Amino acid sequence: MFGGKAMSTKIEYRREERGQTLLIFVLALTVLLGFTAMAIDVGLFFENRRHLQNTANAAALAGVAELPMNPGAAKTKAAQWAAKHGLSSSEIKTIDVRTTDYPNDTLYVEVEREFTWVFGRVLGKTVSAVPASAAAQVGSLSGTSNLMPWAMVLGDSACLGPTGNPLVDTNCSVKVGAGIGTTGWYGALDLDGNGGGSNEYQSNIYDGMADTVYCAEGETEPECQTSVVDALDGNKVGGTGHGIDQRLSAEPTPGCDKSGNGKDDFAEVFGVNSSGTPKYGVTCPASPRLIIVPIVTLNGSPVKTVTIKGWALAYLKSYSCVGGTSCSGGKGHWEVQVTIVDAIYSQSASFIGTFNPLSSISVRRLIE
């Protein structure tokens, strides 16, 4: 009798234990499913937020290409770009032309979309507003007298990494004495495509100016005329040496020659950026040693034209005779050495300045 009662008590206890385990399992499963559901909802929310931000960025960059000359066209293009990415007119809250450094140089875009919660309803969430905004500015590379008729070749320059990233403080040749690889091209460019006479080439080095407005491939500034430049045949021995001598005859630049050595030294033209990124800032923008060099890819061999992919900010370090004593009497070739400071392909870099209608180069960037 006692044994039967004890066994009955054990069976009832096990049943209660199984019932409690099942209850705990159901409660835990409910919590787990709740967390999973909310995780899905939150993931969808941030996916919507990312899509809206990308759309705002793209719309601002597309529209700012029309600035500062055509504010109306800038707004229209931004709205069209937003619509192309799935936004309705009611979701485009603001498209505004603003002034940052130059009249009508900035386009501000603000969008918003309602996100409908699926699983969040159990917590009282039904609809939430998802906002995004972006501001893009059109500018020019610092200085209007710094564009050189030389090139850095992607994949064949000591100043650039494998992905085209600038190897800051590295020295490299932009006008080579022995020709680039097997192409036989010496790295000189025929800016404006007027035939590449030695006098024109020399003048380009001296004043750093071009009548043609160049931009990197893929940029769509309305002032841009082309991203393709004619390659200049031959070594242009006289034009290179005389052009650089004329250009550097302007130094020392007033206010820049702190050492008093009659030369604009690297540390006098570029100062270390206290914030660390980018490494340097321009401290002597008027120096003739501050130059901008196109970063290019070659269009075939022999090289007849090149395509501009970006721009390098550099310090004109020196030039030397290769294969001769003084490159006189038809012996030897001038090789131009620079120190790279920064590079830009389509977005911001430290050497983008205020939009200048006289500049041969214009760029656009996101500032917000």
In DSSP terms, which residues pair with 364 in a beta bridge? 138
> For position 321, what pLDDT does the model report?
80
Say which residue, 363 or 79, is predicted with more confidence.
79
Contacts of 213 (CB under 8 A, 6+ apart): 221, 223, 224, 225, 359, 360, 361, 362
pLDDT per position as a tens digit, 13-68: 555 555 556 566 556 555 555 556 566 666 677 787 888 888 888 888 888 878 88
Using an 8 Å Cβ cutoff, are 104 and 331 in contact? no
Residues in the chain: 368
> For position 182, what pLDDT does the model report?
46
pTM: 0.61
DSSP alpha helix (H) spans, the chain = 2-64, 71-84, 198-207, 237-248, 266-269
pLDDT per position as a tens digit, 111-153: 998 877 766 665 667 777 888 899 988 776 554 458 899 999 9
Using an 8 Å Cβ cutoff, are 204 and 149 in contact? yes
3-state secondary structure of 197: coil
Using an 8 Å Cβ cutoff, are 60 and 107 in contact? yes
Report the b/e string of 60-73 with b at 16+ CB within 10 A: bbbbbbbbbebbee
d(CA 47, CA 33): 21
DSSP3 helix / strand / coil % (the chain, rounded to 5):
30, 30, 40
Residue 335: CB atoms within 10 Å: 22
